Amino acid sequence: MPTAGDDDGAERLAAHAAGNKRAWQATLDDVDELAAGRATDGWEVVTVVAGQTAPRPRETGGTDRYGLVHVVSKSDADSFATAYERGEYPRYDVYRATTDTRLFLVTECLDPGSRTAILVAGSVRRDDARALARTAARTGRMYTHVRTLDGTHLGSFEHATPEKFFPVTDRGSQSSGEDCR
Protein backbone atom coordinates (compact mmCIF):
# COMPACT_ATOMS: atom_id res chain seq x y z
CA MET A 1 0.00 0.00 0.00
CA PRO A 2 1.57 3.39 -1.03
CA THR A 3 2.35 5.89 1.66
CA ALA A 4 2.45 9.66 1.47
CA GLY A 5 6.26 9.46 1.22
CA ASP A 6 5.97 7.17 -1.81
CA ASP A 7 3.69 9.69 -3.50
CA ASP A 8 6.23 12.45 -2.87
CA GLY A 9 9.00 10.34 -4.42
CA ALA A 10 6.89 9.54 -7.45
CA GLU A 11 6.00 13.20 -7.88
CA ARG A 12 9.68 14.22 -7.67
CA LEU A 13 10.60 11.55 -10.21
CA ALA A 14 7.84 12.72 -12.56
CA ALA A 15 8.93 16.35 -12.12
CA HIS A 16 12.56 15.42 -12.97
CA ALA A 17 11.45 13.48 -16.03
CA ALA A 18 9.25 16.34 -17.23
CA GLY A 19 12.04 18.88 -16.62
CA ASN A 20 14.57 16.74 -18.49
CA LYS A 21 12.17 16.27 -21.39
CA ARG A 22 11.65 20.06 -21.64
CA ALA A 23 15.41 20.67 -21.44
CA TRP A 24 16.11 18.12 -24.19
CA GLN A 25 13.48 19.70 -26.43
CA ALA A 26 15.02 23.13 -25.74
CA THR A 27 18.43 21.69 -26.71
CA LEU A 28 17.03 20.38 -30.00
CA ASP A 29 15.38 23.76 -30.61
CA ASP A 30 18.75 25.45 -29.95
CA VAL A 31 20.42 23.15 -32.49
CA ASP A 32 17.83 24.11 -35.10
CA GLU A 33 18.26 27.82 -34.30
CA LEU A 34 22.07 27.64 -34.44
CA ALA A 35 21.95 25.69 -37.70
CA ALA A 36 19.51 28.15 -39.27
CA GLY A 37 21.67 31.10 -38.21
CA ARG A 38 24.84 29.57 -39.66
CA ALA A 39 23.04 28.60 -42.88
CA THR A 40 21.72 32.15 -43.25
CA ASP A 41 25.32 33.35 -42.96
CA GLY A 42 26.36 31.05 -45.81
CA TRP A 43 27.73 28.08 -43.85
CA GLU A 44 27.10 24.45 -44.71
CA VAL A 45 25.72 22.93 -41.52
CA VAL A 46 25.76 19.30 -40.45
CA THR A 47 23.71 18.49 -37.37
CA VAL A 48 24.04 15.22 -35.49
CA VAL A 49 21.87 14.27 -32.55
CA ALA A 50 23.33 11.56 -30.37
CA GLY A 51 21.04 8.70 -29.50
CA GLN A 52 23.32 8.20 -26.51
CA THR A 53 26.17 10.20 -25.03
CA ALA A 54 28.57 8.71 -22.52
CA PRO A 55 31.26 10.47 -20.52
CA ARG A 56 34.54 8.60 -20.67
CA PRO A 57 37.06 9.72 -18.05
CA ARG A 58 40.75 9.04 -18.62
CA GLU A 59 40.73 6.20 -16.11
CA THR A 60 38.29 4.18 -18.27
CA GLY A 61 40.30 1.49 -19.98
CA GLY A 62 43.60 3.29 -19.31
CA THR A 63 43.30 5.36 -22.48
CA ASP A 64 43.94 8.98 -23.35
CA ARG A 65 40.78 8.95 -25.47
CA TYR A 66 38.69 10.48 -22.72
CA GLY A 67 35.83 12.84 -23.42
CA LEU A 68 32.22 12.70 -24.43
CA VAL A 69 31.41 9.79 -26.73
CA HIS A 70 28.36 10.50 -28.89
CA VAL A 71 26.68 7.53 -30.56
CA VAL A 72 24.89 8.58 -33.75
CA SER A 73 22.55 6.96 -36.25
CA LYS A 74 23.68 5.68 -39.63
CA SER A 75 22.07 8.63 -41.44
CA ASP A 76 23.85 11.13 -39.16
CA ALA A 77 27.07 9.11 -39.41
CA ASP A 78 27.29 9.51 -43.17
CA SER A 79 26.78 13.28 -43.18
CA PHE A 80 29.12 13.72 -40.20
CA ALA A 81 31.92 11.65 -41.76
CA THR A 82 31.74 13.58 -45.03
CA ALA A 83 31.90 16.96 -43.28
CA TYR A 84 34.57 15.83 -40.79
CA GLU A 85 36.94 14.68 -43.52
CA ARG A 86 36.49 17.92 -45.45
CA GLY A 87 37.53 20.37 -42.71
CA GLU A 88 40.05 21.28 -40.02
CA TYR A 89 37.61 22.73 -37.42
CA PRO A 90 39.96 25.08 -35.55
CA ARG A 91 37.09 26.91 -33.79
CA TYR A 92 34.36 25.69 -31.50
CA ASP A 93 31.83 26.73 -28.95
CA VAL A 94 29.74 24.82 -26.45
CA TYR A 95 26.18 25.60 -25.46
CA ARG A 96 24.94 23.87 -22.35
CA ALA A 97 22.00 23.70 -20.02
CA THR A 98 21.50 21.69 -16.87
CA THR A 99 18.75 20.27 -14.77
CA ASP A 100 19.31 18.79 -11.33
CA THR A 101 20.22 15.46 -12.90
CA ARG A 102 21.33 16.02 -16.52
CA LEU A 103 23.73 18.05 -18.62
CA PHE A 104 22.52 19.01 -22.11
CA LEU A 105 25.14 20.07 -24.66
CA VAL A 106 25.50 21.34 -28.18
CA THR A 107 29.11 21.34 -29.39
CA GLU A 108 29.60 23.52 -32.45
CA CYS A 109 32.81 22.93 -34.42
CA LEU A 110 33.61 25.39 -37.18
CA ASP A 111 35.89 25.23 -40.20
CA PRO A 112 36.09 28.80 -41.56
CA GLY A 113 38.07 27.63 -44.61
CA SER A 114 35.28 25.48 -45.97
CA ARG A 115 32.56 27.42 -44.09
CA THR A 116 31.33 24.15 -42.60
CA ALA A 117 29.79 23.84 -39.15
CA ILE A 118 29.22 20.56 -37.33
CA LEU A 119 26.72 20.67 -34.47
CA VAL A 120 26.66 17.71 -32.08
CA ALA A 121 23.82 17.49 -29.54
CA GLY A 122 23.88 15.16 -26.56
CA SER A 123 22.88 14.69 -22.97
CA VAL A 124 24.52 12.93 -20.02
CA ARG A 125 23.70 12.31 -16.40
CA ARG A 126 25.58 14.89 -14.34
CA ASP A 127 26.63 12.28 -11.77
CA ASP A 128 28.18 10.20 -14.56
CA ALA A 129 30.04 13.20 -16.04
CA ARG A 130 31.76 14.42 -12.86
CA ALA A 131 34.84 12.17 -13.19
CA LEU A 132 35.27 13.38 -16.78
CA ALA A 133 34.92 17.00 -15.65
CA ARG A 134 37.72 16.46 -13.12
CA THR A 135 39.93 14.77 -15.75
CA ALA A 136 39.36 17.62 -18.21
CA ALA A 137 40.09 20.26 -15.55
CA ARG A 138 43.29 18.43 -14.53
CA THR A 139 44.58 17.99 -18.11
CA GLY A 140 43.35 21.25 -19.59
CA ARG A 141 41.87 19.36 -22.53
CA MET A 142 38.54 17.89 -23.51
CA TYR A 143 37.59 15.62 -26.39
CA THR A 144 34.42 15.02 -28.36
CA HIS A 145 34.20 11.62 -30.05
CA VAL A 146 31.53 10.58 -32.55
CA ARG A 147 30.88 6.92 -33.32
CA THR A 148 28.18 4.59 -34.54
CA LEU A 149 26.32 2.00 -32.49
CA ASP A 150 28.56 -0.76 -33.86
CA GLY A 151 31.62 1.09 -32.49
CA THR A 152 32.89 2.60 -35.74
CA HIS A 153 34.87 5.70 -34.81
CA LEU A 154 33.88 8.57 -37.13
CA GLY A 155 36.01 11.39 -35.75
CA SER A 156 37.23 13.26 -32.70
CA PHE A 157 37.74 16.88 -31.78
CA GLU A 158 40.18 18.20 -29.18
CA HIS A 159 39.13 21.23 -27.15
CA ALA A 160 41.53 23.52 -25.30
CA THR A 161 38.95 25.02 -22.94
CA PRO A 162 37.27 22.12 -21.15
CA GLU A 163 35.54 24.38 -18.64
CA LYS A 164 33.05 25.28 -21.35
CA PHE A 165 31.57 21.79 -21.12
CA PHE A 166 30.82 21.51 -17.41
CA PRO A 167 29.13 23.61 -14.74
CA VAL A 168 31.53 24.83 -12.06
CA THR A 169 29.78 22.61 -9.51
CA ASP A 170 30.54 19.53 -11.60
CA ARG A 171 34.22 20.39 -12.13
CA GLY A 172 35.04 20.71 -8.49
CA SER A 173 36.75 24.07 -8.91
CA GLN A 174 35.47 29.23 -16.31
CA SER A 175 34.55 32.18 -24.00
CA SER A 176 35.07 31.06 -27.22
CA GLY A 177 37.40 28.16 -27.85
CA GLU A 178 40.18 27.52 -30.31
CA ASP A 179 42.13 24.42 -31.30
CA CYS A 180 39.12 22.18 -31.78
CA ARG A 181 40.79 19.36 -33.66
The pLDDT score that the predictor gives to residue 9 is 67
| Structural contact between residues 86 and 110, judged by C-beta atoms closer than 8 angstroms | no
Higher pLDDT, 6 or 71: 71
pLDDT surpassing 50 at residue 2 = no
- The per-residue pLDDT for 64 is 63
Q: What's the pLDDT score for residue 15? A: 74
Please give the single-letter amino acid code of residue 43: W
For the chain, the C-alpha Rg in angstroms (whole number) is 17
176 band by pLDDT with thresholds 50, 70 and 90: very low
Round to whole Å and give the CA distance between 165 and 79: 24
* Closest CA relative to residue 133, chosen from 155, 154, 163: 163
Render pLDDT for 3-60 as a digit per residue (tens, 0 to 9).
455 566 677 777 778 989 999 999 999 999 999 999 999 999 999 999 999 999 876 5
In this predicted structure, what is the pLDDT of residue 12?
Answer: 72
pLDDT, tens digit, 9 for 90 and up, residues 116-164? 999 999 999 999 999 999 989 888 999 999 999 999 999 999 999 999 9
pLDDT of residue 10: 75
Burial of 125 (0-12, 13-18, 19+ CB in 10 A): middle
One-letter amino acid at 80 equals F
Q: What is the pLDDT of residues 100-115, one digit of tens each?
A: 999 999 999 999 999 9
What single-letter amino acid sits at 45? V
